[in-house]
Structure 1
Amino acid sequence: MSALTFVDVCSGAGGLALGLERAGFEPRLLLDDDADAVDTLRANRPRWNVLRTDLMDFDPAEHPVSHDVDLLAASPPRVKSSATVKRTDSGAEERLLEATVYLAHAIRPRAVLIENVPGLAHADEYQGFRDLARAELAHLGYEFSWFVVNAADFGVAQNRKQGVLVAIERRWATSFRPPAPTVSNPSTVGAVLGPSMASRGWRDAARWAAQADQPAPTLVGGSKNRGGADLGPTGAKRKWATMGVNAHTVGDRIPGPDFVWDPELGRDNMVKITIEQAALLQGFPGSWDISGRKTARYRQVGHATPPPVGEALGRAIAEALVAAPTIFEAGYTSAT
């Protein structure tokens, strides 16, 4: 049987695409409008067909390779919460979500996968998007599944919840089940980063790893228009501090032999997580090279879908698509 195929939009650093590749999917086309992200994708997978363009400007008629695919996947920038809707750049993320739905209408994949904030699956403030998706896709024969996954359930050392839409053509839809957790106990920051922290001879690496005995809070990539690289909002920074990590910045290198780790002395005596280590906490392989300057590199990592989550979602979709099609009465059932 030939490999299942997919188109990936808003590809970023390639976390979702990498996970889908591991699940047995073959990419036909990936696109992103960020030059650094495109460089990242091309550097790590030279054979992938990567297009630099804004999703809002993408015309599938000009790219017939995007037609007749099994899956349209998208991990657009996170939509704004109700607390930030008054910011001047508010609305761009919502338009990308809508553009993904319209693209599905145009290329008619057998399945659609969109991941974003947890509230996408159930919160009242995103009911408008769920209604739009239903209006555009239900009459084409797609069934809908809305659910939330936590990256920690799939071996990622991070509590990172994502709202997911999976829409599958009706004849395969009854075979789809959201992915079940693949681990019984979550990975911890110390377990994942301990070897890295010790790699330059830091004598306190093991002691630090023992204290960092829990998953990380959600990594946040931030906006192109605001801020530099740090590990998240105030609550996340406090959580990092309990692990002896200075989350107010991102480190340039891991500690050397003479670094004095003593959190009671303040931030200067806490460790800093590097971009490469942040990528490990997202579940990227150590060989995955992130292109660009420091803040742009961290933004790509923070925005990415953890590859193990992408793999779990991909396997669940693949199992449905290779199942024998089921014919049943028109209509669909879905949580709204």
Structure 2
Amino acid sequence: MSGLRFVDMCAGAGGLALGLEGADFEPVLLLDKKPVACDTLRMNRPTWQVLEMDLLDFAPSRHQEVYDVDLLSAGLPRVRSGATFARAESDDELRLLEATVYLAHAVQPRALVIENVPCLVSAPGFEPIRDFIRKELDHLGYRFRWFVLNAADFGVPQDRRQGLLVALKEQYFDAFRPPEPTVREHLSVGQALHRSMALGGWPDADRWAAQAHSAAPTLVGGSDRRGGADLGPTGTRKAWARMGVDGSTVADGIPGPDFAWVPETGRHGMVRITTEQAALLQGFPADWRFAGKKTARYRQIGHASPPPVGSALGLAIRAALATSGAPTGGYTSPP
């Protein structure tokens, strides 16, 4: 057997799917309800089957190809810290989580991956949700593990902790090991973006890169109901300011030769990053394009799962399913 087959729910801009592709998984169906996200997927991978639909409306009986897959993956919208399972009927994020578990009931993949916020893994407030998942997966003959990964440990220049559930059918579970870090030192923002910052002839690119010597704080895509693109809340913007970056907005282009970088004077003397640079900070390859206007592009990027983490997960799951003798692959993050 060559590539293993997977279905990806709430696929967004394709970060998780791209990573799994790099681990030699072949997508048979990707679903997302946002037209711009579906446009992004089709623009980059015209051969992928992309379905524009809300997961809550998805009927697997109308898509027979999903019944013959090795993996069901879902990078779901983030549950809110105050969410409770008792409110699932009125909380869209929790309803999607519930729907994914029920979809596993219908599809019966050999493995299941759900990616979400770190607090979903162990916070006491989410215990009822975890108990619901445990009962459903036990009933279906899966064993599972909750854990947290930091994207920075996999070559992504960003401190981004991801809460993960990996479930496998009983006969494969004992062989599963969560991915181990692939880098010894975290890649800094300056290292990741120095080349692109210098492309327009900006003379301070070297000096800026030396100051931006840590990994980026977590990129936040924000809500479709709030304003334009920015790099996150107040605390996050302060972290960006220490790197000489104005986190209150996203740039239309890279700095030119006349841009004066004087961060000590405030945000107007700071450099800003572009959506393309934000994508590099998420671990996307430089040639991955995003549909829509600037704010829509940035939100897709901020909500995405970093592809190198998806690849590491794919390789770990592939190793657990290795009784089939399938070959392994690997995703290479951009320099």
* TM-score class normalised by the smaller sequence: over 0.9
Q: How many Å apart are 1:239 and its aligned residue?
A: 0.4
Is 2:23 aligned against 1:3?
A: no
Partner of 1:102: 102
Gaps of 5+ in 1: 326-336
| Aligned counterparts of 2:84 and 2:170: Cα–Cα separation in 1 | 37
Partner of 2:291: 291
Q: How many Å apart are 1:322 and its aligned residue?
A: 1.2
Residues 119-141 of structure 1 show CA distances to partners (whole Å, capped at 9, x for unaligned) of 11111121122111112121211
| Aligned counterparts of 1:178 and 1:324: Cα–Cα separation in 2 | 20
Partner of 1:126: 126
Partner of 2:207: 207
Partner of 1:144: 144
Is 2:23 aligned against 1:23?
A: yes
| Aligned counterparts of 2:25 and 2:129: Cα–Cα separation in 1 | 27
Partner of 1:78: 78
Partner of 1:243: 243
| Aligned counterparts of 2:94 and 2:56: Cα–Cα separation in 1 | 12
Partner of 1:311: 311
Shift in CA distance, 141/83, structure 1 to aligned 2, threshold 3 Å:
closer
| Aligned counterparts of 1:189 and 1:83: Cα–Cα separation in 2 | 33
Partner of 2:224: 224
What's the secondary structure of 2:18's corresponding residue? Answer: helix
| Aligned counterparts of 1:120 and 1:177: Cα–Cα separation in 2 | 20
Q: How many Å apart are 1:64 and its aligned residue?
A: 0.4
| Aligned counterparts of 1:323 and 1:190: Cα–Cα separation in 2 | 43
Alignment of 1:273-292 (within 5 A): 273-292=273-292
Residues 229-257 of structure 1 show CA distances to partners (whole Å, capped at 9, x for unaligned) of 10011111000000000000111111000
Residues 19-48 of structure 1 show CA distances to partners (whole Å, capped at 9, x for unaligned) of 000011000100000000000000000010
| Aligned counterparts of 2:279 and 2:96: Cα–Cα separation in 1 | 25
| Aligned counterparts of 2:282 and 2:90: Cα–Cα separation in 1 | 26
| Paired residues of 1:172 and 1:324 also in contact (CA < 8 A) | no
| Aligned counterparts of 2:233 and 2:113: Cα–Cα separation in 1 | 28
Residues 249-289 of structure 1 show CA distances to partners (whole Å, capped at 9, x for unaligned) of 11111100000000011111101111000000000001000
Q: How many Å apart are 1:83 and its aligned residue?
A: 8.7
| Aligned counterparts of 1:130 and 1:308: Cα–Cα separation in 2 | 26
Q: Percent identity?
A: 63
| Aligned counterparts of 1:129 and 1:64: Cα–Cα separation in 2 | 29
AA at the equivalent of 2:271:
V
Q: How many Å apart are 1:208 and its aligned residue?
A: 0.3
| Aligned counterparts of 1:90 and 1:300: Cα–Cα separation in 2 | 24
Q: How many Å apart are 1:227 and its aligned residue?
A: 2.6
Partner of 2:330: none
Q: What TM-score, normalized to structure 2? A: 0.94
| Aligned counterparts of 1:133 and 1:106: Cα–Cα separation in 2 | 15
What's the secondary structure of 1:323's corresponding residue? Answer: helix
| Aligned counterparts of 1:187 and 1:228: Cα–Cα separation in 2 | 28
| Paired residues of 2:229 and 2:249 also in contact (CA < 8 A) | yes
| Paired residues of 1:212 and 1:243 also in contact (CA < 8 A) | yes
Shift in CA distance, 189/90, structure 1 to aligned 2, threshold 3 Å:
farther
Moved more, 89-98 or 205-214: 89-98
Partner of 1:179: 179
Q: What TM-score, normalized to structure 1? A: 0.94
| Paired residues of 1:84 and 1:90 also in contact (CA < 8 A) | no
Residues 84-106 of structure 1 show CA distances to partners (whole Å, capped at 9, x for unaligned) of 99xxx971111111111111111
| Aligned counterparts of 2:146 and 2:324: Cα–Cα separation in 1 | 23
Partner of 2:37: 37
| Aligned counterparts of 2:299 and 2:207: Cα–Cα separation in 1 | 29
| Paired residues of 2:83 and 2:91 also in contact (CA < 8 A) | no
Report how many aligned residue pairs link the two structures.
323
Partner of 2:12: 12
AA at the equivalent of 2:219:
L
Q: How many Å apart are 1:2 and its aligned residue?
A: 2.6
| Paired residues of 1:175 and 1:323 also in contact (CA < 8 A) | no
| Aligned counterparts of 1:251 and 1:152: Cα–Cα separation in 2 | 24
Moved more, 227-236 or 198-207: 227-236
Q: How many Å apart are 1:314 and its aligned residue?
A: 0.7
